[in-house]
Amino acid sequence: MAKILCVEDEELIRKLVVEELQDEGHETIEASNGEEGLKAIKAHKPDLVLCDVNMPVMDGCEMLTTVRENHPEFADMPIIFLTAQSDRKDIIAGQKLGADDYLTKPIDYEMLMISVDTRLKQVDRMGARKQDEMVKLYKALSTGDQAELEELVPVSPEAEVEDSGPTVAVVCNDETDLSGVIQALDAQGCKIEKYTSGSAFHHAVDKLDPDMLLITFDTTDNQAPFVMKVLGGKTRVKFGSVVLVPAHLKKMCGTTQTSVFDAFVLMPTPDETVVEVINRVFKVRNKQNAEEAVS
């Protein structure tokens, strides 16, 4: 199990969170403010941090900023904010500072455990991927395999200038195979832009200006509902959105976690069904955009 630091100034909440974590077999460390939390991070090197935002001495945002800016050795350590604040501006501020997730109080402990488990698995995947890339790079350097070196350290291609159909942003983790869906969309004339990271899509969305977002519930950093909530949800974005929900998160279907999207699909589902849902959302969005243009 993991080593998890809980930074929370309210002792009762801190003890309850710690108890839940320990029941799941995790090792826990406690801190009552950001200053103590920062010292605990340096001393114990936790696998994950749960952190309140409003605290005395040093608040959560200050602690997070210090970690992200001054301690690159903890760049892959997930930090999840726990706070009573739920305004969109607070969520955006937290993500800009480098928070990996944002859970509001009163704490839903089931959601907390899901978020913790998801973040820990993502760290494991990133670590395994980095190790694999290092091994491949070492072998390529040792053998002088130029083709392998170019694949591992690619040169940025020139931007394509030709016209294409609608742009579909596909944000997919390593555990979900969407190759069939992508091929079908490509055959329809769609331009596909792929991302594994929710934050990477968030940073590229303005320049990309997609017509559709297809996203797995878990990306390699942020969960899909968090990504969409930061962007304002389906009522504020210009593009359509479809989220793919894995079977073990079936209970999320039809809840507020999926209501920020135009549609959700419970996986596994045949590729053609996913494409049908995407095309249905395309039609609805196109009609809405046309009506807005007329009005």
Range of lowest pLDDT (52-56, 89-93, 228-232, 267-271)? 89-93
Give the residue from 127, 62, 64 showing the smallest Cα distance to 99: 64
- Higher-pLDDT residue of 30 and 102 is 30
189-241 confidence digits (pLDDT tens): 999 999 988 888 988 898 889 999 999 999 988 899 988 888 887 888 889 99
The domain at 167-294 falls in which architecture? 3-Layer(aba) Sandwich (3.40)
Residue 161 — pLDDT band, cuts 50, 70, 90? very low
The domains of the chain are located at 3-120, 128-152, 167-294
Return the pLDDT at 176. 86
Q: CATH topology of 3-120 equal to that of 167-294? A: yes
Return the pLDDT at 168. 96
HSE-up (13 A, CA, CB side) for residue 40:
23
CA distance 121 to 100: 13
- Look at the domain 3-120 and name its fold: Rossmann fold (3.40.50)
CA distance 199 to 34: 24
**pLDDT more than 90, % of the chain:** 45
Q: Where are the beta strands (DSSP E) in the chain?
A: 3-7, 27-31, 48-52, 79-83, 101-104, 167-171, 191-195, 212-216, 240-245, 263-266
Name the CA radius of gyration of the chain, rounded: 21
Residue 102, C-beta contacts closer than 8 angstroms, at least 6 positions apart: 80, 81, 83, 90, 91, 94, 95, 226
**What is the pTM (predicted TM-score) of this model?**
0.53
The mean pLDDT of 268-283, rounded to a whole number, is: 93
CA distance 29 to 15: 11
- Higher-pLDDT residue of 127 and 179 is 179
168-195 confidence digits (pLDDT tens): 999 998 888 899 999 999 989 999 999 9
